[in-house]
Structure 1
Amino acid sequence: MLSSPAPTRNRPSRRWLSLPLALALGCQASAGGFEKKAADAEVVEQPSPVVVGTVERGAITATISAASTIEAERQVTVHAESVGRLVDLTVEEGDKVKEGQVLARIRFDAQANSLLRANTSLAKAQTDFQRIEQLYNERVLGHEEYQKAKNQLDIAELDLRDRAREMKNTKVTAPFSGTITQRKVIEGGFVTNGAELLQVTDFNTLVARVFVPEKELDRIKVGQEALVVGKAAKGRKGTGKVLRISPTVDAGTGTVKMTVALPQELAGGQGFLPGMYAEVTLTVDHREDVALVPKGAIVHDEEQTYVFVPEGDKARRVRVELGLQDAERVEIVKGLGAGEAVIVAGQTGLKDGAKIVRVDMQGRPEGGDAKPAEAKADDAKADDAGKTDAKVDDTKAANKEN
């Protein structure tokens, strides 16, 4: 019996099997090539917009500024030097007084009685001493009795001086000419020895004490002028002079205390008053005809200072040595000369050799183009993105056809 041949399966040709694999590999290769091109497009360096200025020549003044509180060097609190009820208070805050003027009186009944007893005791001691001295000279009494009488006379005289001083202390007087700035008691109140009564201030002795870094010590001299400006109270401004410089340096802060005296015309109601907050500025150096750039042009890298200068469409970093500085400008001692171009804005984040595009302070490219550099950069990115999208579409279409 003949057996029928076994059915054979139609095996797909190797040529057809390799077609999908080839298509897949082709797609991957196309996608890989596109991604590489896209990555290359992304790393294209865009120029940074910068503002370019010129190194100028001019004068510069270096100053030191420090905050201070206005004080009066002659300001004392008058204390009671006796005990009793305060009577006859004759002054009020704001009153001007002269040295030695009576400001108030303390009731002196007890002190007056003590003074009277002291006078009586002294008179008796004097009489006793005269009698004993005569007997001593006649050799009737010995030296011991004579010395005892002499001691009693001395004690009586001391007691009288004490009682007289207590009587005098019931009168409160001004220690110097000035102004009553505080009244701490009321008439009729009872005061004890040492109680605070009044405060007297001499407005002709106003000073501002400031602390300056020790490195500036050699540039400050006694008699040097200083500008004093009121901070909270506006309109207060004038020129004082350095009165004293402390001979020691504060080890904790590295500063030196300096006392600036204010002239008399700056004191008073329309001028400075004790306790006012002020700023003191001293001129420590001045130079003429030096190279100057804006402070914003300086780039600090650790302890070194640099500027960027334009060279065509690129920026070059140049190390510079600085001199005097004021609020807006800095002196270039070495590294750049007057008239040279320097990048004054937009240099933050720049690297040596970075691409740049010059713009004005409003961000408009030099040459009259009204569109800011940032907008042009965005347009360039948009064009690149459009081209990239088109390439993606072309790649997808080619894959479908295959």
Structure 2
Amino acid sequence: MKKRTRWLLIAGVVLVGIILTALSMRDEGLIVEVAQVRQGPMEVSITEEGKTRVRERYAVFAPTTGRISRITFDAGDNVEAGAILGRLYPLPGSQRDIEMATARVSAAEALRREVDVRLDDARNQLAQLERDVARANVLASDSILSAQELEQSKLTLESARKQVVSIEAALEAADAEVAAARAGLLGTDPSQGSGTGIAIRAPSSGTILRVYDKSERVVQAGVPLIEIGDSRGLEVVVDVLSEDAVRIRPGDQVTFINWGGTVDLNGRVRIVEPDAFTEISALGVTEQRVNVIADIFDAPEMLGSGFRVEARIVVWSEDDVLTIPSSGIFQDEGMWNVFAVVDGRAQLQQVDIGQRSAELVQILGGIAEGDVIILFPSDQIEDGIRVRSEG
């Protein structure tokens, strides 16, 4: 019995202590964190990840199917417009193709020799006829040769001249046939030499961004060979939520952070693309996103194409507005409210707000500069309760 009485006495003392502590705290007020309503600058920004890319990028493709020579350039090399990047040659053929091409060359050369012989004969005959006509003119002037015989000699001479012209044209055609046959042999027979091939030239001055394959190989028409661009003209592609994209305008200021350097980079929004796309977030949420294209001012040399950056896009800013920390405002029944501290007590105060950022809220009415509000108001804060600030 004595033992039970002792435990009851201890419990009573503890209970009295708790009550006295609660009364003491009630009299002193609930400890809260506070902040002052201030007048000053404020900006609203949207921060998303982006990726750099070259503004003007040129892809060089194989113009036709063939054998591309080894590309001696490397990524990072600078080239001038028109520089030869490589050469594309006809495809090598099979043994049957080589034999057929060789036979066409032999036939064309034989025909050329035949025409050459015919031309020599025709020129010799023409020279002889010119001498005969000269003698006929002398004989006709002495009345030894009739006028009819003289005209016949001249007609024969004119016909011989036309024959020479015709054979000369045939010789030119035979030369062309030989050239065509030899050109057909260049691609099929490596022993006949590779020729000059088709020169693959740089479409613009810039830096080689990518070489798909340096090796000599057979490529199909349209296969990409090299990418060229001016790495000094970088832009950043930032994909943002569609509800954020409607707040962004061309010309908005952009600050690029966390790109790897020690100094933030400046830029400006150039384009907000009008077409959104669907993307699944890391949490599995389906989102509609929009690409925002921004230019970088004075991009450093170490920043290349495809590098990751964070872009902070300023969508609104003012130099002199009334603000409070965003942790001091809450919504109740569709209205925005704060707890102001008036004479040591919490006072529920309805406010009108404007712009909101992650840190600050613009106040349009309800409280004034210098007023003190409670931050992070808990469920223990009620209208009229006594409070005191930390420290």
Aligned residue number for residue 200 of structure 1: 228
**Structural mapping, 1:2-401, within 5 Å:** 41=19, 46=26, 47-80=29-62, 81-84=64-67, 86-87=69-70, 89-107=71-89, 170-187=198-215, 189-194=216-221, 195-216=223-244, 219-229=247-257, 231-235=258-262, 237-250=264-277, 253-263=287-297, 265-266=298-299, 269-270=301-302, 272-301=303-332, 303-344=334-375, 347-353=377-383, 355-359=385-389, 363-364=390-391
Higher relative contact order (CA 8 A, sep 6+): 2
Deviation at 1:95, TM superposition (A): 0.8
Structure 1 unpaired stretches of 5+? 1-26, 128-155, 365-402
* Unpaired segments ≥5 residues, structure 2: 116-176, 188-194, 279-285
Q: Can you list the C-alpha shifts for 1:227-278, whole angstroms capped at 9, x where unaligned?
A: 223x242236332232222224457634433211234x315x33x3111111
What is aligned with 2:172?
A: none
Change (3 A) 1:290 1:73: closer
Note closer, same or farther for the CA distance 1:334–1:108 as it changes in structure 2 (3 Å cut): same
Q: Measure, in 2, the Cα distance between the counterparts of 1:49 and 1:208.
A: 48
**Number of residue pairs the alignment of both structures matches:** 283
Q: Structure 1 residue 196: deviation in Å? A: 4.5
Amino acid aligned to 1:56: R
CA-based RMSD: 4.1
Tell me the TM-score normalized by structure 1: 0.57
**Contact 1:72-1:206 within 8 A present in 2 as well:** yes
Give 1:342 deviation, angstroms: 1.6
Q: 2 CA distance for matches of 1:106 and 1:254?
A: 45
CA distance in structure 1 between the aligned counterparts of 2:213 and 2:243, rounded to whole angstroms: 48
Give the share of equivalent positions with the same residue, in percent: 20
SS of residue matched to 2:249: coil
For residues 253 and 302 of structure 1, the distance between their equivalents in structure 2, rounded to whole angstroms, comes to: 29
2: CA distance, partners of 1:75 / 1:238: 22
Cα distance in 1, alignment partners of residues 262 and 289 from structure 2: 29
2:69 is paired with a residue whose SS is strand
Tell whether the 8 Å contact from 1:82 to 1:169 is kept in structure 2 after alignment.
no
Q: Deviations over 1:341-384 (max 9, x none)?
A: 2223x63333323633423xxx43xxxxxxxxxxxxxxxxxxxx
* Alpha-carbon distance in 2 for matches of 1:177, 1:326: 44
Deviations 1:13-58 (A, max 9, x none): xxxxxxxxxxxxxx9xx99xx79x8699387574320233321212
Give the drift of 1:308. 1.0
Report the Cα offset of residue 69 of structure 1.
0.9
TM-score by length of 2: 0.59
SS at match of 1:260: strand
CA contact (8 A) 2:41 2:319 kept: yes
- Structure 2 partner of 1:396: none
Mark the CA change 1:70 to 1:316 in structure 2 (over 3 Å): closer, same or farther: same
